[in-house]
A = this chain, B = another copy of it.
Amino acid sequence: MKTGFFNVLDVQTFIEKLRGFASMPVQGIALEEADGRVLAQDVLSGEDLPLAHRACMDGYAVRAADLFGASEGNPAYLEHIGVVDIERPADFVVEAGQCATIVTGGILPEGADAVIMVEHTQDMGAGTVEMRKSLAPHENVMLRGEDAAAGAVALTAGTVLRPQEIGLLAALGIQSVSVHRRPRVGIFSTGDEVIPVSETPRVGQVRDVNSYALTALVQRAGGVATCYGIVPDVQSALEKMLAKAVAENDVVLLSGGSSVGTRDLTMAALDSLDGATVINHGVAISPGKPLILASAKKAQGQCAVWGLPGQVTSAQVVMFVLGMPFLRWLSGEREPFDQRGWPSRRAVLVRNVASRQGREDYVRVRLQNAESGETEAVPVTGKSGLLRTMLLAQGVVRIPAASEGLDGGATVDVLLFGGSC
């Protein structure tokens, strides 16, 4: 039996190969569409934000020096000279010994350099306000340009836009941004035993799980998925489909061929694909060892072809650990492979987990809240190919290649699959 595992890379080397693929071309998009995208260029601010010193509390605009030493027991008394309109700068100046009512967001009147919160004051009537606290200059004031300065870089290329970055861009009046295009991902399944989800299997047939599960994983990683259906175990059909999918996408995910025969066919089809180079025939990872990566040259750029493991659960774990970070890499993220930046949860492993040295293991675990208040990570038992091993799990625990396993009671970081968006 030919196993085809003649070029198995360790995980770090495989990731270095992935980093060899260039990020997607730049496109301009409307701010409304930009959440989750990665800036391809620095964004400069065209103006100061705030445009002027602004109050960040409701209270009184004052000169901090007037409140020097003021306290509950030793209040200061200031003359109330007016109310700052939220919409426009005051037409008066706050002189020594004076104060003016101001609300959050109001422009600090000339002369004033701080805002005292209304809670620390008492309106005594007859134009006098009691001040029961001392202040530092600029206290409770957002300074002109403190969020962004005219002409300066407000956000750098490589920033992943979140709601707060979207908010900053809106505040600066920036209605479109340059981001990396989403990677287009073609998905197809191989194997004579695989049938469409709409059909009823005979014994020996299985429905095409991967077209659905991989599409969801690709979308979660910000890719645009296209499903090409199922290809039978015939080399010419596989070659034809591969050529079409490579031409139309930035990444091709090919999966479902669980048998050695299908793997050999996949290899042969990749070898015969014009301008394609097979990078590896396996990765020292479990599950996921049979993972194949190839690079196919295109008229413009290149396409990464992934031959995913045949087992659907292995394919899902490989996508989580390597495939989704790769799509985020293509989308312009700088450190998507650094697991320290992934959503995770610290937990106590409830029992020993053995691992073979020389390969990186990802153990599926479910989380439970212990009575102690700690989170416990319970390894999911059962044959790794069962779908329910993925259903029961909230995430995976990594066992490094150099390790022979983890001891029960060890504290581990559970990399979370994530629930709803």
Contact = CB atoms under 8 A, between A and B. Distances in A.
Contact of A215 (B32, B171, B346, B393): B32
A216 B166 contact: yes
A192 B369 contact: no
Nearest to A140: B383
A391 interface: yes
A385 B203 contact: no
Contacts of A202: 88
A214 B222 CA distance: 20
A290 to B, nearest CB: 10
Interface in A169-213: 169-173, 175, 191-193, 197-213
B207 A162 contact: no
A1 B118 contact: yes
Given A343-B344, A418-B343, A421-B221, A166 B213 contact: yes
Contact of A220 (B35, B105, B200, B207): B35
A217 interface: yes
B163 A220 contact: yes
Contacts of A199: 173
A109 B17 CA distance: 42
Nearest to A31: B212
A383 B86 contact: no
Indicate how many identical chains form the complex: 2
A216 B142 contact: no
B167 A387 contact: yes
Contacts of A302: none
A67 B282 CA distance: 30
Interface stretch (A73-81, A240-248, A257-265, A402-410): A257-265
Given A56-B385, A89-B203, A209-B170, A162 B192 contact: no
A60 to B, nearest CB: 11
Contact of A167 (B89, B312, B413): B312
A177 B383 CA distance: 27
16 contacts: A35-B216, A56-B383, A88-B202, A103-B259, A106-B259, A141-B383, A146-B382, A146-B388, A162-B419, A164-B213, A168-B391, A171-B206, A328-B420, A343-B343, A343-B344, A345-B346
Given A147-B388, A169-B212, A345-B346, 13 more contacts: A35-B220, A56-B311, A86-B193, A86-B258, A87-B204, A88-B202, A107-B204, A166-B212, A167-B387, A171-B207, A173-B197, A220-B421, A340-B369
Interface of A: 1, 3, 31-32, 35-38, 49-52, 56, 58, 85-89, 103-107, 118, 123, 140-142, 146-148, 155, 160, 162-173, 175, 191-193, 197-217, 219-222, 258-261, 310-313, 316, 328, 331, 333, 340-341, 343-346, 369, 375, 382-388, 390-391, 393, 413, 416-421
